[in-house]
C-alpha cells in the first residue's frame, strides 16, 4: 500500500484488478487511440461510457473515481472559458452575447468535444494507477515490457516521493510564516511568495533527485548486470485477452463514429 494521493483504493480481488500491470497499461493506451484520431464529441462520449461501464470490473467504486477526477472538472472549466473567449469558429445558432464574445452552438460543441476527450483519455489512467501497486508496475515493466531497470525503479522512487512535495510545500510555507514572511492580502506579494516557494521546492526536489541517483548507482542499478526479482510478474492468457478486448472496443468505437458521421448528412 502507498500513501497520500497514490494510495491503492480498489478491490484487489476484482476480475480486471488482478490482471498484469503491463496488460492494464497497454489496454488503456490502446483504448485511447481513437480519441486522437477524431475531433467530434461522439467518440469520447462512447469511450467514456464504456470506461464507466467496466469500472466495477476493476473493483473501483464510482464515488472514488469522482473524487479522483475532481482536478479534471477544474481543468474542464478552464477549457470551457478558453474556448468561449478565443474560439475562431463561432458558427451555429447564437445563444448568448458576452460583450464582444458570441456564445454559439458551434462554440459549445467544440468545448464539449474537448472536455469529453480530456475525461475519456484521463479516466483509463486513473483506473490503472488506482488498481495497481506501484512496485508491481515497476516489476512488470522490467520483466514483461523489458524496460530498463534503472528507468523503472527510478520512476517508482519518484512516484513514491510524489506525496512529499505537498508536505514540503506546507513546511516551507510554515517556516517562512514563522520568520514573518507573509504576503497578507497583497496580490502582488502573494504572487512573489508563490514563485519563491515554488523555486525553493524545485531546488529541494533536484537535490533529493541527485542523492537518489547516487544511491541507486551505489546499489548497482547502472551496472548492466541481470537483476533478480522478489516478486515474479506473470503475463497470462487473460492479460492478452484484456489487451485484445481493449483493441476490439477501440475499433468498435471508431466504427460507430464513422457510421454515425456517414448517416448524419442523410438524417440532416
CB 103 within 8 A of CB 84: yes
Residue with cell string 533527485? 209
Question: What SS3 class is residue 104?
Answer: strand
Q: What is the pLDDT of residue 39?
A: 76
Q: Does the pLDDT at position 127 exceed 50?
A: yes
Retrieve residue 218's grid coordinates.
551505489
Retrieve residue 115's grid coordinates.
472536455
Q: What is the maximal distance between C-alpha atoms in the chain?
A: 71
Whole-number Å distance between alpha carbons of 153 and 137: 10
- Dump pLDDT digits (tens) for 176-192: 888 887 777 777 888 88
Whole-number Å distance between alpha carbons of 24 and 243: 7
DSSP letters for 7-48: ---S-TTSTTTTS-HHHHHHHHHHHTGGGGT--SSHHHHHHH
Query: Of 258 and 244, which is predicted with more confidence?
Result: 244
101 burial via Cβ count (<10 Å: 0-12, 13-18, 19+) = middle
Q: Could you tell me the pLDDT band of residue 263, with boundaries at 50, 70 and 90?
A: low
Q: What is the pLDDT of residue 6?
A: 41
Whole-number Å distance between alpha carbons of 268 and 260: 12
Q: What is the average per-residue pLDDT within 120-128?
A: 90
Q: What is the pLDDT of residue 7?
A: 47
DSSP-derived pairing of the beta strands 94-98 and 101-104? antiparallel
Q: Which residues pair with 104 in a beta bridge?
A: 94
Residue with cell string 522512487? 157
Q: What is the pLDDT of residue 109?
A: 84
Q: What are phi and psi of 95, to 5 degrees?
A: -105, -35
Whole-number Å distance between alpha carbons of 27 and 21: 10
Q: Could you tell me the pLDDT band of residue 28, with boundaries at 50, 70 and 90?
A: very high
CB 221 within 8 A of CB 152: no
**Percentage of the residues of the chain whose pLDDT score is greater than 70:** 91
CB 157 within 8 A of CB 205: no
Amino acid at each position: 500500500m502507498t500513501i497520500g494521493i497514490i494510495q491503492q483504493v480498489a478491490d484487489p480481488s476484482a476480475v480486471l484488478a488482478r490482471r498484469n500491470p503491463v496488460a492494464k497499461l497497454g489496454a488503456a493506451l490502446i483504448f485511447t487511440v481513437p480519441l486522437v484520431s477524431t475531433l467530434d464529441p461522439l467518440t469520447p462520449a462512447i469511450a467514456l461510457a464504456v470506461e464507466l461501464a467496466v469500472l466495477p470490473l476493476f473493483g473501483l467504486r464510482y464515488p472514488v473515481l469522482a473524487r479522483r477526477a475532481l482536478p479534471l472538472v477544474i481543468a474542464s472549466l478552464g477549457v470551457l472559458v478558453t474556448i468561449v473567449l478565443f474560439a475562431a469558429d463561432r458558427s451555429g445558432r447564437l445563444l448568448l452575447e458576452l460583450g464582444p464574445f458570441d456564445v454559439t452552438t458551434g462554440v459549445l460543441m467544440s468545448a464539449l468535444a474537448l472536455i469529453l476527450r480530456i475525461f475519456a483519455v484521463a479516466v483509463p489512467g486513473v483506473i490503472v494507477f488506482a488498481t495497481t501497486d506501484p512496485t508491481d508496475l515497476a516489476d512488470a515493466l522490467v520483466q514483461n515490457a523489458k524496460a530498463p531497470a534503472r528507468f523503472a525503479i527510478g520512476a517508482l522512487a519518484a512516484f513514491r516521493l510524489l506525496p512529499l512535495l505537498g508536505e514540503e510545500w506546507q513546511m516551507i510555507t510554515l517556516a517562512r510564516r514563522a520568520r514573518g514572511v507573509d504576503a497578507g492580502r497583497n496580490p502582488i506579494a502573494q504572487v512573489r511568495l508563490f514563485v519563491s516557494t515554488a523555486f525553493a521546492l524545485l531546488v529541494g526536489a533536484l537535490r533529493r533527485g541527485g542523492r537518489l541517483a547516487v544511491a541507486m548507482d551505489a546499489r548497482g542499478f547502472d551496472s548492466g548486470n541481470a537483476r533478480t526479482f522478489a516478486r515474479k510478474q506473470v503475463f497470462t492468457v487473460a492479460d492478452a485477452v484484456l489487451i485484445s478486448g481493449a483493441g476490439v472496443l477501440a475499433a468498435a468505437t471508431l466504427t460507430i463514429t464513422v457510421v454515425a458521421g456517414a448517416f448524419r448528412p442523410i438524417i440532416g
